[in-house]
Amino acid sequence: MTTYSDAGVDLDAAARAKELFKPFVRSTFGPQVLGDIGLFGGLFKLEGFKEPVLVSSTDGVGTKLKLATWMGRYDTIGHDVVNQSLNDVLTTGAKPLFFLDYIAMEEMVPERVAVIVKGIAEACRAAGCALIGGETSQLSNHFQEGAFELCGFLVGVAERSQLLNPSKVKAGDILIAVPSSGLHTNGYSLVRHVFGLDKDPSLLHDRYPELGRTLGEALLEPHRPYYPLLAPALPLVKSMGHITGDGLEDNVARALPPGLRARIDYESWQPPTIFGIIQERGKVSQEEMFRVFNMGVGMVMTVEKANADALLRLLPEAWVVGDVSKSI
């Protein structure tokens, strides 16, 4: 008799994976979550808002997943997939409500799936966000050996009257930055090219004294979540840019209205060591580095000049990274 497993799909492994990660998922549930794991749709009760606006974001982790596979480490990428969407939603001033994940892989390894979902649940709990559902798929003969896909979907909410609004930004406003934790989830195709990792991933295990750890450990540093840090500061903020793909200037520009531009003071901070190693190894120009990577800047907030000092007092690690001026 022919079975599904003969075609490369292990239903028993999938069932075991679900049993392993159920406690992690349930640990994110609050009273707003209605129902339990296994429903066809996640249920969330929205309450406490007068004029709620739902804000959504979706993203994947990209080729950072290759590094996780080469390193045999799956405990950080769950944080990545949550936090990048969490930060995108935060740029509107929204509070995270719930998250859904999608994991697809060639071979269903229950313990590996459980580690990934555990990281997702940890990131959700840290943000006060429910992991309300997801999908784990085994796609036989679809991926290269060891490869997989991980992406997620986050929904947040804000009072309409409290949404951050770039249209309120004006010339003379101040740009305040908070640091990144590393590369976050952007630029990994260039990193792989620079170090030749597709040919020799063992280089990830090389230890760099200036990093105090291996190259792979530095590159797998999770994408930092900013909601817990910045939520208390939102009443002082006009707009916010999450520094992801396309670098600092282009992402800050998305938080400004037409006719205004950001003037960045590139002497106001020192990019972390990992970026210098990438630049030197690959002989990458300064312009290209700032176009591809966040270079140590995770989020940039636009504030009224009169509120800048108050915001800096709330965020001791933040600094003035520039200001807003009229376009030339």
- Specify the pLDDT at position 141: 81
> Which tokens is 324 given?
């807003």
Please work out, in degrees rounded to the nearest 5, the angle formed at the alpha carbon of residue 54 by the alpha carbons of 51 and 55: 135
Q: What is the pLDDT at residue 15?
A: 86
Q: What is the pTM of this model?
A: 0.95
What tens digit of pLDDT does each residue of 51-60 get? 999 999 999 9
Domains annotated for the chain, with CATH where assigned, are: 4-162 (3.30.1330.10), 166-326 (3.90.650.10)
Q: How far is residue 218's CA from residue 76's CA, in Å, rounded to a whole number? A: 11
pLDDT attached to residue 147? 86
Cα–Cα distance measured from residue 11 to residue 1, given in angstroms and rounded to the nearest whole number = 16
Contact 43, 55 (CB under 8 A): no
pLDDT, mean of residues 206-214: 97
Angle at the Cα of 148 (from 142 to 151), degrees rounded to 5? 115
The Cβ of residue 141 has, within 10 Å, a number of other Cβ atoms equal to 7
Strand partners, 322: 175, 264
pLDDT at residue number 143: 84
Local confidence band at 66 (pLDDT 50, 70, 90 cut-offs): very high
Q: State residue 310 phi and psi, 5-degree precision.
A: -65, -40
* Per-residue pLDDT band at 63 (split at 50, 70, 90): very high
Tokens 């972390």 correspond to 272
| Secondary structure (DSSP) of 75-114 | SSHHHHHHHHHHHHHHTTTPEEEEEEEEEEESS--HHHHH
| Helix (H) and strand (E) counts in the chain | 11, 13
Per residue in 135-177, pLDDT (tens digit) is 999 888 888 887 899 999 999 999 999 999 999 999 999 999 9
Quick one: pLDDT at residue 328? 75
Order of all β-strands in the sheet with 260-264: 237-242, 297-303, 174-179, 319-326, 260-264
Q: Tokens 């036989």 label which residue?
A: 140
Give 214-248 pLDDT, tens digit per residue: 999 999 999 999 999 999 999 999 999 999 988 89
pLDDT digits (tens, 9 = 90+) for 69-112: 999 999 999 999 999 999 999 999 999 999 999 999 988 889 99
58 in the Ramachandran plot: left (φ > 0), alpha (ψ -120 to 50) or beta? beta
φ, ψ dihedrals at 127, nearest 5°: -95, 0
Q: How far apart are CA 34 and CA 44, in angstroms?
A: 6
pLDDT digits (tens, 9 = 90+) for 244-270: 988 899 999 999 999 999 999 999 999
280-323 pLDDT per residue, tens: 999 999 999 999 999 999 999 999 999 999 999 999 999 999 99
- Residue 326: left if φ>0, alpha if ψ -120 to 50, beta else—which one? beta
Does the pLDDT of residue 327 top 80, yes or no?
yes
pLDDT for the residue 2: 79
